[in-house]
Chains A and B, each alone.
Chain A
């Protein structure tokens, strides 16, 4: 035993004493902090933020000096710590572009956050106006307590900016440190960049718009999504020769997207419901069975859609976005379709069954078709190649067509119904098959990306999807007994659900160039 390790407390062993000491934190001395903090350090950033408010027609924007950005990534961590983000939440990212410049290897790290677009996709898509373009600064603000967590902004933003938080059920994003700027402080990323590569500048919105809308102009940064869609305001400046054909560090990395199961269910079932409604109206003279099936499909589909929302209790405000958001329009239109359908279905069980004017059925069908159209537009409006209007339209209306044909054929045996079913299945197959051919593209296009996800990451689903559809169609068409036909219809529905899974999974979601991935 040695004296130093002996505790003054009787019976305490050296181990106990050191464990106790280990747990004792010294009261820190704040005097040194005060001594050093004369406030001068902040003066460093004064040149990195504007001296005054933007004038009318102007807004604040990030400017990144590529020649000063060397990939330390401190901006990402500084933003995270100074904004108190969740452990796994980051609002800034650092990517990489690489290529050849004057015959020599070229690489450039690229820091990127929200571009505070002049025509922000997130804002335009939001069904509840949870985004606001600040009238003074042009900063695209997000209202966290307004957000319903539908994540449509995540799909709408071509730069992958809004980030969804499972814990909160909402998205959050960079606000250019609005509150720091409001007290004359530099944003966290500006403050934490050791080489002063990031600054806030004032830009003229009109001239930026003019420059940006020309699709023949190169992208505002090589390998970045083109500026013509949302008019991003960030500028990347360099005195060096930046090769226009530089590629993203993660150009060829396959990024299968979140499948969004509630949306898969919602889209497939509502579209099938509209189709079955059409079958009821067109061929079966308001058959009870088809209406019940249609109502069931619509009911389950719309209920599923609520599960998609992170904050469903706030969703009553969805009408706010009607003037600009296809998601608002979809909700409102299906909100009209469902009661009409349920009323029609209910009437089938009353004595009024025969007195319902046919036009009312056709009207319900038309409203349903309009709903499918709004669904198409939700995805077409994201500008993602895999979700282009004609592709999404064929997929979504194809589901309606298949459901209508199958329902009509089973109930009425009408040959035109069978033809519609066959046409729907074949048209959708052709669309898929043509898409797979894009895997052979030389350039790594978004179409190739989508084809490769289907063929290399989800080949089982692709096979199952078409087995279900072909077998289901064959059962419906060729085995004219109700159990088989209904079984076939279920298989057809399964095929469409699998198709919709691939629809979400295989989309090439655009984003800013990323770094090496392995």
Chain B
């Protein structure tokens, strides 16, 4: 049996079943494996391209007509998303058509206004202004801030151009704001920045522990994989708020903000006290366990103390330890609740420790797994040439510099011998007048950087600020001396590396507006005008650069010398690193460390830990609330430069800034839903709309990060190891305001 309905009746004079308006919505078989598609948007070809928003790395099937994208749907055959996409992915084409696209270079004129100029004028101005600063104060007085949003090939070009070509010393990316903590944690524990999992582990776990992660909203397509788990898993969510993910979990531990390190040390101690350990794994594959054990037993990480500090029941902490030590397949996943913390590196390592103690690494459904934020944050970690030398190498290693110089065919003395400053240090450098020229690419510092008012002041210290972006309207572009118009996702070629280390191809399917150029082309031009074009004579196309990048990874943990071309990537549904040359057969979904060998010289993982530190800005009488920040909805992305350009996405999130407050607190302060309220921290004061909800705990308020105002409140405090800003907690005061 099958459904058998239709066709609809014929027209009669009194009843118009058909006509021009009806036909606007008529569907027809889409071919290309698409199912039905709207007839008015029927494609004559399709192609696949990895999405340019988050690090899930979904493949989108782009519907083309006369070579140009007219629609898209989710790719059914890609191992990551299996025919699904979140609303941002579905709406990926809308932001390309926005009216505020930068279509020509803009130079600030003597009247202080940004004025359209030719590329020729723009590039000459950039080169002469940066050149003058360099002549006066050296390469260390120039710097760049980049992004996790552009392909690896472009990142590598930017980093190489800046350091090897122009001679800059310091550059960093907005990945500092999201992933630095995971990077440092993995390097310390595993010996290399190596998230060990594949998404198949979501489906193969018996116990999934999510820490500081609202996966349902931040990575809906990863949550799809959790929902495909047929093992009836226990899902534990550890988050102060009763988020969508907490609702969907089997257990929610609503701990007090930033009490996580004590919690996980207490859990580790319970594992030891109850001997819920994998001794074989510990002996064979780790170091320093005895020291770690002593640390846990000699300090006060008792169940009682943990319960007191976290506000959780002793039983629920004990049960968590019991679950993690159950011998079942346990995977631990974390996102920004851990990374964006003043002691995030140690928290991430405390989670890695739990996985190591229980042998939950390198097995199906296991792992201590950092979920990445941006579409190519992982590419940035390997190829941005800012913190690491290209390919996960070290600037401080003579051997590495020689290797890279050899492959790139450049003089080795062009490679700096010291590490870059981190984002915060670069801005401090600007503040102190040490950095005078700054090039910001595809990120919106003026919105996203912590303690925004401080950034606003230090902009004035810069001699020359170049901003390269799709839109001339971003808060940062509006502050620039020179705006370079960039092509966006869908208007250029390259590869992204997703959260599970999968390299996937992104494609040009649309023409960029006006004179906007792919970042790749812009870097080619800057190299040419700077006079260092010869250094990049092999860098003729993204695919050529990709081949260079694969060469650079040889013998590294991220070795991808086995990927000869873009075509191979497409044929394989993306390829996870590593794939050393000579690998012919490989699984579509692979995890690391299946052999129990890690990347430290002794091939053993390390237990890394230290005493919990006090919060940089605890609440007090004057500022009695903890301000939590995070993703508002799945239809919003970061500073909203793109997601605000889609009518559909705009319908799916609140237009203006709002703050979630618990009804108990609200009642005490006389605040009703949608009332204007003032949120004041030591750094600034904003007015937002109140949303009363019991999902935010008493004593805390939550503000989505997508609204620019919010970062006027946040505190410049950083994890000492990763230099990642601590967006998640600062002290604020809440008052009812008279008006918006």
Contact = CB atoms under 8 A, between A and B. Distances in A.
Given A70-B248, A106-B694, A33 B33 contact: yes
Contacts of A144: 19, 21-22, 24-25
A30 B46 contact: yes
A5 B528 contact: yes
Given A30-B47, A53-B3, A94-B652, A70 B244 contact: yes
A87 B647 contact: yes
Interface in B517-531: 517-518, 521, 524-525, 527-528
B297 interface: no
Interface string A12-24: 0111001101110
B586 interface: no
A183 B7 CA distance: 11
Given A18-B521, A105-B242, A191-B35, A71 B5 contact: no
Contact of B525 (A14, A36, A178, A192): A14
A71 B16 contact: no
Contact of A195 (B36, B71, B75, B223): B223
Contact of B648 (A5, A67, A77, A181): A77
A141 B5 CA distance: 13
Interface stretch (B76-84, B107-115, B456-464): B76-84
Interface residues of B, number: 123
Given A77-B91, A77-B648, A145 B16 contact: yes
Contacts of A35: 571
A518 B687 CA distance: 12
A76 B648 contact: yes
A4 B36 contact: no
B40 interface: yes
Contact of B694 (A77, A83, A100): A100
Contact of B90 (A68, A74, A107, A179): A74
A179 B27 contact: yes
B534 interface: yes
Nearest to B520: A18
Contacts of A36: 33, 75-77, 573
A432 interface: no
Interface in A115-141: 129, 134, 136-137, 141
A194 B224 contact: yes
A184 interface: yes
Interface in A232-259: 249, 251-254
Interface stretch (A38-46, A346-354, A374-382, A417-425): A38-46
Task: Identify which of B527, B648, B696 gathers the most chain A CB atoms within 10 Å of its CB.
Answer: B648
Interface string B248-261: 10001000000000
B14 A2 contact: no
A81 interface: yes
Contacts of A191: 35, 83
Contacts of A2: 527-528, 533-534, 536-537
B6 interface: yes
B8 interface: yes
Nearest to A193: B84
B482 interface: no
A428 to B, nearest CB: 30
A193 B118 CA distance: 46
A72 B32 contact: no
A71 B217 CA distance: 7
Given A28-B45, A170-B21, A252 B672 contact: yes
A182 interface: yes
Interface string B500-522: 00000001111110011110010
A72 B634 CA distance: 6
B245 interface: yes
A74 B220 contact: yes
Contact of B695 (A18, A53, A87, A107): A107
Interface in B403-417: none
Given A19-B517, A320-B14, A74 B86 contact: yes
B312 to A, nearest CB: 13
Contacts of A37: 32-33, 76-77
Given A44-B83, A145-B19, A252 B36 contact: no
B665 interface: no
A78 B90 contact: yes
Interface string A474-518: 000000000000000000000000000000000000000001111
Interface in A182-231: 182-185, 191-196
Contacts of B19: 144-145
Interface in B122-173: 123
Give the size category of A's interface with B: 35 or more
Contacts of B573: 36
A518 B90 contact: no
Interface stretch (B268-276, B608-616, B653-661): B653-661
Given A15-B119, A71-B633, A108-B247, A22 B5 contact: no
Given A44-B83, A74-B90, A518 B518 contact: no
Contact of A184 (B2, B85, B527, B540): B2
A84 interface: yes
A136 B694 CA distance: 45
B217 A84 contact: no
Nearest to B64: A28
Interface in B650-675: 651-658, 672-674
A29 B47 contact: yes
Contacts of A146: 15-17
B85 to A, nearest CB: 6
Interface string A76-109: 1110111110011010011000111000111111
A7 to B, nearest CB: 12
Contacts of A168: 21, 24
A184 B46 CA distance: 23
A137 B570 CA distance: 42
B420 interface: no
B1 A518 contact: no
Nearest to B66: A25
B248 A253 contact: no
Contacts of B20: 145
A326 to B, nearest CB: 20
A182 B537 contact: no
Nearest to A23: B511
Contacts of B508: 25-26
A10 interface: no
A25 B68 contact: yes
Contacts of B693: 98, 105, 107
Nearest to A14: B528
Contacts of A517: 654-655, 674
A52 interface: yes
B4 interface: yes
Given A73-B635, A105-B695, 8 more contacts: A18-B517, A23-B512, A33-B33, A34-B32, A94-B652, A134-B5, A144-B24, A184-B2
Interface of B: 1-8, 14-22, 24-27, 29, 32-33, 35-41, 45-48, 61-62, 64, 67-68, 71-77, 81-87, 90-91, 94, 118-120, 123, 216-217, 220-221, 223-224, 227, 242, 244-245, 247-248, 252, 487, 491, 507-512, 515-518, 521, 524-525, 527-528, 533-534, 536-537, 540, 570-571, 573, 633-635, 647-649, 651-658, 672-674, 688-689, 691, 693-696
7 contacts: A5-B528, A41-B82, A72-B220, A144-B19, A144-B22, A145-B16, A180-B27
